[in-house]
Amino acid sequence: MRPFEYVRAGDIEHALRVLAQHGPRARVLAGGTDLLVELKSSAQTPKVILDVSWLSALKRIERTPEGLRIGALATHSEIARSNVIGATCVALGEAARAIGAVQTRNAGTVGGNLVTCVPSMDSGPPLLALDALVVLASARGRRVLPLREFFVGPRRTALEPDELLTCIEVPLSALAKPMAFLKLGLRKGQALALVNVAAGFFADGDPVRFSAPCIALGAVAPTAIRATQAERYLAGRRIDRASIEEAARIATAEAAPIDDFRASAWYRSTLISVLVRRALELAHERATQPVKKEAA
């Protein structure tokens, strides 16, 4: 590893000035669970490491009139423990608890997980399913993108070199939607996903039908994706086993899994069908349960 300059950001404005000055020659240090590993193995060392981990303003998880705001520096453990997340975005809490070991969850941040943008990320599918937005700041101003537009390719996002991901926003319309997150890896814990799925819907009407269904998949395409054809199929249909089975089949056809050293494309396709079905069934079970009251 070659020498680099270390800068500890005093506040968000300071961080944005450093990024404006150094651009692609700077890397942002948040939890460090991905960056520090990369620095040890990469032949290229950035000129500047910008440490934003002390910025408490980017750690908050809070309700807003528009929905829910999750600071980019909120750790996976903080998300897993949050009563607000548990009451409004249960699948995101489940995903946070599925990430790595407890040390990784204590240090790793939701923003870092999104920016690293590996196809098997666990926070991506539930946030995609929740129609989340990402807020990007720079010295030039602020812009907001749907998360689906933020993901560009494996380890590639729409983040510009002078931009900082400051928070994730979940719209009010998606909060408290009955959802579930499921993941399968080669081990029970501390494993990358072979496939992960977040799915949910509101159960409305008589007979009860799918309303605003959402299905998101990870580790089966270049980035985490929404299974939009399966969602369109479910919308307005009566909730029954046949509809769930057909949605799982359609979602499987929308994915593009690959063969690698961890699993074959065929095996991943089989997992998609199984996990989508189970996630929808679990979401339905939750839709029939009493609504959990939100705590501070």
Do residues 60 and 149 both lie within one domain? Answer: yes
In this predicted structure, what is the pLDDT of residue 56? 94
Do residues 211 and 142 both lie within one domain? Answer: no
Do residues 46 and 62 both lie within one domain? Answer: no
Do residues 202 and 107 both lie within one domain? Answer: no
In this predicted structure, what is the pLDDT of residue 40? 76
Contact 186, 164 (CB under 8 A): no
**CB burial readout 37-67, b (16+ within 10 A) else e:** eebeeeeeebebbbbbbebeebbebeeeeeb
Catalogue the long-range contacts made by 35-42 (C-beta closer than 8 Å, 24 or more residues apart).
35/112, 39/1, 40/1
In this predicted structure, what is the pLDDT of residue 8? 96
Domain boundary among 17, 32, 51: 51
Q: What is the CATH number of the domain that holds 150?
A: 3.30.465.10
Do residues 71 and 19 both lie within one domain? Answer: no
Do residues 204 and 279 both lie within one domain? Answer: yes
Q: Which domain holds residue 34?
A: 5-51
In this predicted structure, what is the pLDDT of residue 206? 85
- 275 Ramachandran zone, left/alpha/beta (phi>0; psi -120 to 50): alpha
In this predicted structure, what is the pLDDT of residue 296? 47
As a three-state string, the secondary structure of 209-232 is EEEEEEEEEECCCCCCEECHHHHH
Nearest-angstrom CA–CA distance, 155 and 73: 19
Do residues 139 and 107 both lie within one domain? Answer: yes
Do residues 153 and 219 both lie within one domain? Answer: no
Do residues 161 and 184 both lie within one domain? Answer: no
Report angle CA 177, 183, 188 to the nearest 5 degrees: 135
Question: Residue 289: in which H helix or E strand, if any?
Answer: none
Q: Does residue 293 lie in a domain region? A: no
Q: Does residue 66 lie in a domain region? A: yes
Q: For each of the chain's 296 residues, which pLDDT tens digit applies?
A: 678 899 999 999 999 999 999 999 999 999 988 888 777 777 677 899 999 999 999 999 999 999 999 999 999 999 999 999 999 999 999 999 999 889 999 999 999 999 999 999 999 999 999 999 999 999 999 999 999 999 999 999 999 999 999 999 999 999 999 999 999 988 776 788 999 999 999 999 888 999 999 999 999 999 999 999 999 999 999 999 999 999 999 999 999 999 998 899 999 999 999 999 999 999 999 998 765 555 54
Contacts of 46 (CB under 8 A, 6+ apart): 4, 25, 26, 27
Tokens standing for residue 275: 């996990």
Domain boundary among 117, 140, 173: 173
Do residues 134 and 60 both lie within one domain? Answer: yes
pTM equals: 0.93
Q: Does residue 22 lie in a domain region? A: yes
Domain boundary among 116, 146, 173: 173
Q: What is the CATH number of the domain that holds 34?
A: 3.30.43.10
In this predicted structure, what is the pLDDT of residue 244? 98
Q: Does residue 43 lie in a domain region? A: yes
In this predicted structure, what is the pLDDT of residue 276? 98
How many independent structural domains does the chain possess? 3
Q: Does residue 124 lie in a domain region? A: yes
Q: Does residue 23 lie in a domain region? A: yes
In this predicted structure, what is the pLDDT of residue 291? 55
Nearest-angstrom CA–CA distance, 234 and 228: 10
Q: Does residue 295 lie in a domain region? A: no
Q: Does residue 253 lie in a domain region? A: yes
In this predicted structure, what is the pLDDT of residue 39? 78
Do residues 63 and 22 both lie within one domain? Answer: no
Do residues 166 and 195 both lie within one domain? Answer: no
Closest CA to 99 of 25, 190, 22, 21: 190
Q: What is the CATH number of the domain that holds 183?
A: 3.30.390.50
